[in-house]
Structure 1
């Protein structure tokens, strides 16, 4: 055997163990090694193989770490979006949430994570500010003087923020309402009956809730007690049949406070007017001209006109009628007096001697005129005074008396003979 072949065999035998314990990476790169020149020495090849193995492991580790970071980031984003969604759902579920707030919240959820985050950080506060402005403005609908002034002052301030609006709506408005309630209760006490006064004073010295309860219910219960007393007084004082009958029916039943108040404020005046009409018709019947005219005018007028007629007008009309009657009576008496005087003045002309006609027994002229003895029938015609008339009349009477005396004596003489 040649020396060159022996050397090759020895070299192969020496390298066999190294080849058997080589890494899988060397085996995997066998095809590339076969196409390239081998490494000059085994140690160099081993070092090269080890370096390649380490580089491959390092690249694999970096790749795994990058995937892990990306996965965590995605998971964190999903968790935040879910949390935002729950927050928005809680916001729009609040009873104080307006329709605008609910619509904006649902739209943000539908638009995705960025819209939800913008809604939570910005939009909800702007919408809430507008909602509180609307709520505060609505307080004006039933506000008293103090609350109305507070609302206007708050809204007129252009720098009013969300916290100020919230505090006014949740705290200040109730304080101002209580001030208005105190004023309203004091007013009711000043005009109410005994029951209202007593209950109102208790409310004033109580809590704000006591004052609210008095204005909502207590005042009406106390007023009902006072109204019953007032109805009993009306029944006793009023003479009209319709009012008295209605009051009796109401008190004998179980009326509500509202029914009692309506009777006192409305019904009683309607029935009073009907009673007044009947009374005026009775007064007018058989009355004088002034009374009848005033009564008819009252019947054709308003309820107040009829009340005024019964209170005052009828007496004034009666006084006018009485005055007219007195004047008429005085006129009649004056006329009668003047007529009698005129008759007396005319009597001498009609009964004076020489002008009268009759069947007197005294001698006279052919015309039947009685002429006193020694007298002249021209006295009356000359317009002589009453003394001439009286003298003539006396003369006539004396002549007649003398004739009668003479006749009596003649009868007695005849009787004696």
Structure 2
């Protein structure tokens, strides 16, 4: 009997481009948000608790901004009041746009097809489109990528993977789809592999039974090794014993 299954290691390779959508969502949510932080008045809800002064706003930009913003903010903080005002009025908006563009471009290598498509369109359409995309416009494309990645995982999975994948798709939320892609599919795949091992026990020779029993009482790596390698060694030993007798 040929056992067909996908190991965790193989799945990570096969889904590298699509399950990246789950990680991409965290990247997009974590992109520089200093503009909103600087725009806030007072210290209500502000964990930095800085005074409401122009120089404090530049400090906040340095703490929360991207590479370009931090460089300009550092220069302004060592300068005059005029340098501070120039940073807030001129350099900060321009550098924030540059950081947003750089962050979005960097995210493309780890993004799914839908997110890459929409991010590329935003990059081509300019700074306003990039800001809108990062402000929430990416969510529809991200959900598309998560659903595609879930379908890919299900296509190569057994009953357990398909059960959990369908549950995630029926729920439809980002949290459930990401949970399936980053964790649930692997738990279900191990369940499916254990089922495969149990099937091999039916009408198996003594060596296959011995190897299979050890795998089932062991770890996920033991189950994977048995399906990938151990079963073939055991079957060869059973066949050799039959020839001897």
TM-score class, shorter: 0.5 to 0.7
**Distance in 2 (alpha carbons) for counterparts of 1:191 and 1:293:** 40
CA–CA separation in structure 1 for the residues paired with 2:155 and 2:109: 26
Residue 55 of structure 2 is aligned to residue 133 of structure 1:
yes
Shift of 1:298: 6.9
d(CA) in 1 for partners of 2:161, 2:40: 53
Task: Give 2:189's aligned residue.
Answer: 272
Higher relative contact order (CA 8 A, sep 6+): 2
Equivalent residue number for residue 316 of structure 1: 229
Contact 2:122 2:129 (8 Å CA) reproduced:
yes
Structure with higher Rg: it is 1
Q: Is the 8 A contact 2:150 2:180 kept in 1?
A: no
Q: Deviations over 1:251-301 (max 9, x none)?
A: 3x4623443333323332332233333333444574654774476357533
Matched, 1:300 2:218: yes
Displacement, 1:173? 2.0
TM-score of the aligned structures, taking structure 1 as reference length: 0.40
Q: 1:210 and 1:177 mapped to 2: Cα distance?
A: 14
2:72 maps to which residue?
150
Structure 1 residues 222 and 290, CA gap change in structure 2 (3 angstroms): same
State the distance in 1 between where 2:114 and 2:41 align: 44
- Structure 2 Cα separation of the partners of residues 140 and 308 of structure 1: 49
| Alpha-carbon distance, 1:213 to partner | 1.6
Equivalent of 2:161, from 219, 243, 249?
A: 243
Is 1:226 equivalent to 2:145 in the alignment?
Answer: yes
After TM superposition, list the pairs within 5 Å mapping 1:154-173 onto structure 2. Answer: 154-155=76-77, 157=78, 160-173=79-92
Q: Which residue of 1 aligns with 2:14?
A: none
Higher mean C-alpha deviation, range 314-323 or range 169-178: 314-323
Distance (whole Å) between structure 2 residues aligned to residue 278 and residue 326 of structure 1 = 24
Is the counterpart of residue 177 in structure 1 residue 90 in structure 2? no
1:8-407 to structure 2, matched below 5 A, reads 131-155=53-77, 157=78, 160-239=79-158, 241-251=159-169, 253=170, 255-283=172-200, 286=204, 288-289=206-207, 292-293=210-211, 296-297=214-215, 300-301=218-219, 303=220, 305=221, 308-309=224-225, 313-325=226-238, 327-328=240-241, 332=244
The CA deviation at 1:326 is 5.1
1:318/1:134 Cα in 2 relative to 1: closer, same or farther (>3 Å)?
same
Q: Name the CA distance, whole Å, in 2 between partners of 1:227 and 1:263.
A: 10
Alpha-carbon distance change, 329 to 195 in structure 1, aligned in 2, over 3 angstroms: closer
Q: In structure 2, how many angstroms separate the alpha carbons of the residues matched to 1:323 and 1:142? A: 62
Query: Where do 4+ consecutive residues of structure 1 move more than 6 Å?
Result: 95-99
The RMSD of aligned alpha carbons is 3.4
Q: Which whole-Å deviations, capped at 9, do the CAs of 1:291-324 have from their partners, x for residues lacking one?
A: 74476357533x5x26742xxx434223322443
Moved more, 267-276 or 200-209: 267-276
In structure 2, distance between residues paired with 1:307 and 1:163? 68
Q: 2:105 & 2:205 partners in 1: Cα distance?
A: 51
Cα deviation, residue 161, structure 1? 0.9
Q: 5+ residue gaps in structure 2?
A: 1-38, 44-50
